[in-house]
């Protein structure tokens, strides 16, 4: 076979196995150099990410990202208190209610349904309540659970602000009467008030 | 014999007679055993079809979850391991054996050492495969990916692999009549010793001795089990699906192309670098997990370093075809080889890419991984195996190939199939990865409900089915071709007699150090230059025992560097005081979780990423898994992560979801599990499970008062009763099955599984820790009304004990 470098196509002595021969061509330069580069990359990476004081390891990255996310989410409103006034403050505030809705979509829809119509958990879109008589108690139920654990406590799982904003969102669902809702359970209570 | 396929595809040409320079001593006559490779080739093909069929079934079950019709034996979680085991150990395994039994004899100029061992190997391996098919669908599994087979089968694998296959192979090497070992044999050596080491050390367990089950717990737990498992899992890819196939390539490619191998010295360099570096790369399967970060970093860096050693094989394969490319256009065998090697190059570029932490943060748990492994398994292993099959079939069956056209059709169907498959999985994987991490301007998740991300990739699941079906159609065409070729075999195979002088009569060549070529440079530079010609390696190739020993050293040293620190440095797994052993009922439930193969779709590992902790809760800590034998971190999220599912949903929701997942979560692709409510949990085996668990934690003070024997059974029953009572309240009545009958679920599998699920991820919030206490009543135990308040109190109160279920479970 004609080839670019015919001098390389000599099979060394004895390199014949069951009719298979092998050349001894030199190793392509790019192969060697990339290999060397990946080896050199190793200490560079280790020093960059793991040297003491570099603070670039995964958990440090996470801590920074978490802080940034908190800032992004709640930097404007600071720490919220789970009281009636605070819960009511956001009930008509679409911007902040969206945070409550997102939290609800992530953690609550399995039991309460995508629109809060109830499924395994109670209907949140009617006008009657089992464990709540005022709007602040919604936040309390979210944080601490209810119904002997059937409604689990979320205080170890959610940021306190997320609890308050989710309470606002849940409060906003009242009387929306989502279709296909679960039977009403509980008693009728007075309208929400910030008192 | 200018072409592989045409009419004259008679048996391979005879061996060259003894070389001129041999002594005049008598030649030895011998024959090759072609019956064994024939049988392995047929077995390879049969199991390939089985593996593809089961894979296709699994693929259809995803977008069509009710396909199993409520039959537990074919749920996705049970047949996915069957698919992977069939593809790896049955299809690829038999392909390897066919290749090794055919080529080793010819490369050694010697018949396999023992026909009896060959036969034992063949039938033993097929028996192992059959036993896999008879256990995995029944939920008999160790729950570790690609190491699912339970302990009696593990032992059989060790015996067949090391005892029958290994001894037969190494004795053939020792009795060879060819002085030097060709590169294919190096790869076979690495395969045999390393797979034996991996298999044995990943499968050290304590069997659960109970008449009602075949079960074992690995001695490793949590982080360490994960480390062992992926040391094994990754290197199963390396030494079961890569090195033997490289050996196969080094034999069959130059044979089919009738061209010399491109570079001998490249084969030396890439062989040793591959063997040494591969072993380290396992932890890249555990990026961002609770595995210590130094191990993840090693896994990533060695994976990156592995890129060129892997590509060395690709270069040597593709450049061997220089001067033979015109044949590729006409010869389906070479087409299979070229595409196979190209897929190898692609996968071994993709592997290092996916092992980079930042890339992995997107790709991990998604279908990208599925695309990657199928590029490897179908593209590389499959294409090489089929190419080999078309080359071997006419020679082994001493006839001509039935149809070259059908072989070409097979090639094109397979190529189209694999492309459709892989591309759809890339799209699905990247879509899913991006959706999981997407965050809105207000800092909340863009796709807060997991099922939205499932719905988004469903079209890709359908396209994947098309790809898989095309690939399988090709395999069926190939099967027909193989069958017709086999059917035209002669009545009696011709048995060729070969001759060669025994090794002892052949002179031992002196491998001479080349003379320094350079002048005017330092002595050291010249030495390095001489060394780099690798003349010294030629001597190693004469010494199979030394060569094998060096391979073992390379593999073992690399392994120990990584594994020993994981086991001995305590700070790698900081203990958490509140993390306590599972209760007896939770143990049973956990074993149901494993038996059903839940880990095939659900991970239990929350990574430290904001989008992940927002969705699932606090990221997982190493100390949370110290009682997990085996670990269940999973590798794929077809469904959501379950690491902290405990206490988030009611018992009632779980029962509902087991029975009608699509009703509980509209759009869910989880199969229904109505049988969990019908089947009784295995209470009889509880004492054996508890005993085995306690053997694994001999000096653990947390087991001080752990109930054993009948007490453990009573404890489990008490906890089940408690959960069932809570269920009755939540459900406002008993569970009613599809036939309208009320069913008491107390002793059902569902309640045991719920006990386990409700415990998951809750221990780190238990303060002070809830310790398990003996059931026999102390005088205080009469105070039962305090159940609600008591559980967090660390006393010996029986109600406190029962309250534990509520604390971990209902989230009271």
Q: Is the previous residue joined to B562 through a cis bond, with omega within 30 degrees of 0?
A: no
pLDDT-derived band of residue B776, with 50, 70 and 90 as boundaries? low
Contact B16/A at CB under 8 A: yes
Backbone φ and ψ of B771, nearest 5°: -90, 145
Chain B, residues 599-628, CB within 8 A of chain A, namely: 608-610, 613-615, 617-619
pLDDT-derived band of residue B434, with 50, 70 and 90 as boundaries? very high
Q: Is the previous residue joined to B782 through a cis bond, with omega within 30 degrees of 0?
A: no
pLDDT-derived band of residue B798, with 50, 70 and 90 as boundaries? very low
Helix B35-61 and helix B93-108, axial crossing angle in degrees, nearest 10: 160
pLDDT at B801: 44
Backbone φ and ψ of B660, nearest 5°: -135, 75
A111·B649 Cβ contact <8 A: yes
Contact A157/B at CB under 8 A: yes
B264·A156 Cβ contact <8 A: no
* Three-state DSSP class for residue B245: helix
Closest residue, chain A, to B644 (C-alpha): A157
Least-confidence region, from A3-17, B222-236, B472-486, B733-747:
A3-17
State the Rg of chain A over Cα: 32
For residue A52, count CB atoms less than 10 angstroms from its CB and return exposed for 0-12, middle for 13-18, buried for 19 or more.
exposed
For the residues of B173-187, what is the DSSP string, one character each? Answer: HHT-SSSSPPHHHHH
Average model confidence (pLDDT) across chain B = 90
H, E, C per residue of B222-235: HHHHHHHHHHHHHH
Contacts of A54 in chain B (CB under 8 A): none
Chain A, residues 165-184, CB within 8 A of chain B, namely: none
pLDDT at B703 exceeding the cut of 90: yes
pLDDT at B333: 97
CB atoms within 10 A of CB A70: 14
Contact B687/A at CB under 8 A: no
Contacts of B442 in chain A (CB under 8 A): 72-73, 95, 98-99, 102
- Bigger pLDDT: B797 or B154? B154
Summarised one tens digit per residue, pLDDT across range B392-433 is: 999 999 999 999 999 999 999 999 999 999 999 999 999 999
How close does chain B come to A23, measured CA to CA in Å? 5
How close does chain A come to B94, measured CA to CA in Å? 23
Contacts of A15 in chain B (CB under 8 A): 264
**A&B contacts, CB < 8 Å:** 210
Helix locations, B109-142, DSSP H: 115-135
A19-46 burial, b at 16+ Cβ within 10 Å, e below that, comes to ebbbbbbebbeebeeebeebeeebeebe
Closest residue, chain A, to B291 (C-alpha): A58
Summarised one tens digit per residue, pLDDT across range B244-260 is: 999 999 999 999 999 99
Go through chain A and tell me how many residues it has. 195
Tokens of B88: 């790896």
Mutation target to probe the B interface, by most B beta carbons within 10 A, among A15, A23, A44, A101 is A23
Measured between alpha carbons, how far is B463 from B470 in angstroms, rounded to an integer?
11
A38·B304 Cβ contact <8 A: yes
pLDDT at A36 exceeding the cut of 70: yes
- Bigger pLDDT: B730 or B806? B730
How close does chain B come to A149, measured CA to CA in Å? 4
B254·A11 Cβ contact <8 A: no
Summarised one tens digit per residue, pLDDT across range A55-87 is: 889 999 999 999 999 999 898 888 999 999 999
How close does chain B come to A73, measured CA to CA in Å? 5
DSSP letter at B5 equals S
Q: Choose among B182, B266, B296: nearest Cβ to A27.
A: B266
Contacts of A1 in chain B (CB under 8 A): 259, 322-323
Nearest CA among B17, B31, B34 for reference residue B395: B34
ipTM of the complex: 0.92
The answer to whether B354 and B322 are in contact (CB under 8 A) is no
Contact B648/A at CB under 8 A: yes
The answer to whether B703 and B98 are in contact (CB under 8 A) is no
pLDDT at B788 exceeding the cut of 50: no
Mean pLDDT of B70-94: 96
Contacts of A152 in chain B (CB under 8 A): 647-650, 810-811
pLDDT-derived band of residue B766, with 50, 70 and 90 as boundaries? confident
**Which of left, alpha, beta for B382 (phi over 0: left; psi -120 to 50: alpha)?**
alpha
B263·A25 Cβ contact <8 A: yes
Q: How far is CA A88 from CA A139, A172, B350, B533, B680, in A?
A: 11, 9, 52, 80, 50
pLDDT at B616 exceeding the cut of 90: yes
Q: Which residues are CB-contacts of B465 (< 8 A; sequence separation ≥ 6)?
A: B56, B59, B60, B63
Contact A69/B at CB under 8 A: yes
pLDDT at A13: 79
Measured between alpha carbons, how far is B724 from B746 in angstroms, rounded to an integer?
5
Q: Which residues are CB-contacts of B318 (< 8 A; sequence separation ≥ 6)?
A: B338, B341, B342, B345
Contact B539/A at CB under 8 A: no
The answer to whether B471 and B421 are in contact (CB under 8 A) is yes
B610·A149 Cβ contact <8 A: no
Closest residue, chain A, to B664 (C-alpha): A110
A41·B301 Cβ contact <8 A: yes
B652·A150 Cβ contact <8 A: yes
């Amino acid at each position: 076979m004609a080839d670019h470098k015919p001098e390389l196509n000599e099979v060394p002595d004895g390199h014949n196995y069951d009719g298979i021969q092998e050349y001894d061509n030199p190793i392509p330069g790019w192969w060697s150099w990339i290999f060397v580069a990946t080896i050199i990359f190793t200490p560079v990476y280790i020093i960059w990410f793991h040297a003491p004081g570099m603070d670039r390891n995964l958990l440090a990255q996470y801590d920074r990202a978490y802080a940034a996310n908190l800032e992004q989410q709640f930097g404007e409103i600071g720490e919220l208190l789970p009281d009636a006034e605070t819960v009511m403050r956001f009930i008509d505030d679409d911007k902040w209610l969206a945070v409550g809705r997102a939290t609800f979509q992530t953690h609550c829809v399995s039991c309460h349904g995508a629109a809060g119509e109830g499924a395994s958990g109670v209907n949140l879109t009617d006008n009657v309540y089992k464990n709540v008589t005022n709007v602040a108690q919604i936040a309390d139920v979210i944080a601490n659970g209810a119904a002997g654990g059937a409604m689990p406590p979320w205080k170890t799982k959610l940021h306190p602000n997320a609890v308050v904003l989710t309470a606002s969102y849940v409060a906003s669902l009242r009387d929306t009467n989502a279709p296909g809702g679960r039977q009403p359970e509980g008693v009728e209570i007075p309208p929400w008030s910030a008192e | 014999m200018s072409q592989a396929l045409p009419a004259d595809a008679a048996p391979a040409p005879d061996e060259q007679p003894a070389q001129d320079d041999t002594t005049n001593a008598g030649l030895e006559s011998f024959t090759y055993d072609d019956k064994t490779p024939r049988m392995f080739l047929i077995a390879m093909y049969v199991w390939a079809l089985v593996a593809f069929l089961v894979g296709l079934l699994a693929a259809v079950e995803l977008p069509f979850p009710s396909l199993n019709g409520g039959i537990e034996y074919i749920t996705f979680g049970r047949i996915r391991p069957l698919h992977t085991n069939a593809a790896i150990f049955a299809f690829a395994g038999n392909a390897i054996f066919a290749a090794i039994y055919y080529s080793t004899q010819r490369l050694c100029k010697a018949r396999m050492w023992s026909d009896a061992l060959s036969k034992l190997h063949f039938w033993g391996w097929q028996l192992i495969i059959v036993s896999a098919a008879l256990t995995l669908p029944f939920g008999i599994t160790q729950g570790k990916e690609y190491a699912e087979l339970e302990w009696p089968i593990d032992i059989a694998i060790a015996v067949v692999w090391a005892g029958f296959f290994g001894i037969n192979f190494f004795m053939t090497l020792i009795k060879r009549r060819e002085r030097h070992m060709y590169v294919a044999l190096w790869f076979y050596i690495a395969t045999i010793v390393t797979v034996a080491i991996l298999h044995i050390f990943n499968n050290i367990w304590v069997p659960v001795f109970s008449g009602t089950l075949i079960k074992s717990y690995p001695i490793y737990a949590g982080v360490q089990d994960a480390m062992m498992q992926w040391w094994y899992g990754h290197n199963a890819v390396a030494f079961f699906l890569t090195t033997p196939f490289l050996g196969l390539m080094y034999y069959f490619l130059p044979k089919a192309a009738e061209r010399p191998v491109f570079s001998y010295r490249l084969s030396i360099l890439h062989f040793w670098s591959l063997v040494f570096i591969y072993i380290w790369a396992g932890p890249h399967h555990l990026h961002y997990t609770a595995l210590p970060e130094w191990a993840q970093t090693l896994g990533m860096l060695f994976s990156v370093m592995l890129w060129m050693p892997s590509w060395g094989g690709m270069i040597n394969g593709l450049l061997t075809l220089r001067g033979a490319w015109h044949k590729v256009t006409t010869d389906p065998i070479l087409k299979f080889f070229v595409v196979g090697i190209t897929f190898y190059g692609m996968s071994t570029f993709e592997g290092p890419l996916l092992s980079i932490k930042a890339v992995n943060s997107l790709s991990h748990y998604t279908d990208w991984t599925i695309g990657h492994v199928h590029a490897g398994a179908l593209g590389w292993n499959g294409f090489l195996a089929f190419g080999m099959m078309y080359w071997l079939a006419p020679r082994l069956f001493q006839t001509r190939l039935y149809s070259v056209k059908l072989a070409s059709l097979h090639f094109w169907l397979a190529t189209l199939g694999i492309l459709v498959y892989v591309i759809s999985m890339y799209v699905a994987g990247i879509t899913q990865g991006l959706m999981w991490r997407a965050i809105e301007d207000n800092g909340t998740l863009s796709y807060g409900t997991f099922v939205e991300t499932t719905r988004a990739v469903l079209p890709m699941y359908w396209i994947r089915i098309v790809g898989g079906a095309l690939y399988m159609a090709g395999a069926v065409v190939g099967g027909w071709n193989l069958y017709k070729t086999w059917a035209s075999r002669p009545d009696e195979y011709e048995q060729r007699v070969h001759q060669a002088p025994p090794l002892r009569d052949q002179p031992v060549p002196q491998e001479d150090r080349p003379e320094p070529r350079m002048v005017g440079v330092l002595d050291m530079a010249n030495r390095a230059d001489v060394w780099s010609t690798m003349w010294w390696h030629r001597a190693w190739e004469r010494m199979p025992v030394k060569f094998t020993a060096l391979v073992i050293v390379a593999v073992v040293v690399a392994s120990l560097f990584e594994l020993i620190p994981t086991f001995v440095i305590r700070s790698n797994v900081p203990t958490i005081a509140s993390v306590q052993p599972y209760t007896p009922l939770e143990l049973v439930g956990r074993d149901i979780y494993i038996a059903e193969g839940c880990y095939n779709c659900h991970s239990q590992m929350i990574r430290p990423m904001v989008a992940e902790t927002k969705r699932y809760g606090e990221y997982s800590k190493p100390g949370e898994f110290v009682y997990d034998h085996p670990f269940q971190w999973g590798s794929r999220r077809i469904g959501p992560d379950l690491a902290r599912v405990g206490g988030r949903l009611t018992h009632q929701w779980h029962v509902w979801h087991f029975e009608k997942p699509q009703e509980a979560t509209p759009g869910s692709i989880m199969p229904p599990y109505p049988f969990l409510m019908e089947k009784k949990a295995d209470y009889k085996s509880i004492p054996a499970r508890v005993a085995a668990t306690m053997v694994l934690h001999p000096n653990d003070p947390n087991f001080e008062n752990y109930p054993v024997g009948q007490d453990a059974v009573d404890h489990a029953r008490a906890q089940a009763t408690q959960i069932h009572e809570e269920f009755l309240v939540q459900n406002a009545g008993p569970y009613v099955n599809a036939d309208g009958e009320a069913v008491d679920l107390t002793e059902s599998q569902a309640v045991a599984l719920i006990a386990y699920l409700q415990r998951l991820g809750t221990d780190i919030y238990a303060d002070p820790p809830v310790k398990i206490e003996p059931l026999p009543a102390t005088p205080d135990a009469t105070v039962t009304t305090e159940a609600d308040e008591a559980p967090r109190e660390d006393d010996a109160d029986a109600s406190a004990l029962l309250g534990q279920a509520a604390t971990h479970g209902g989230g009271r």
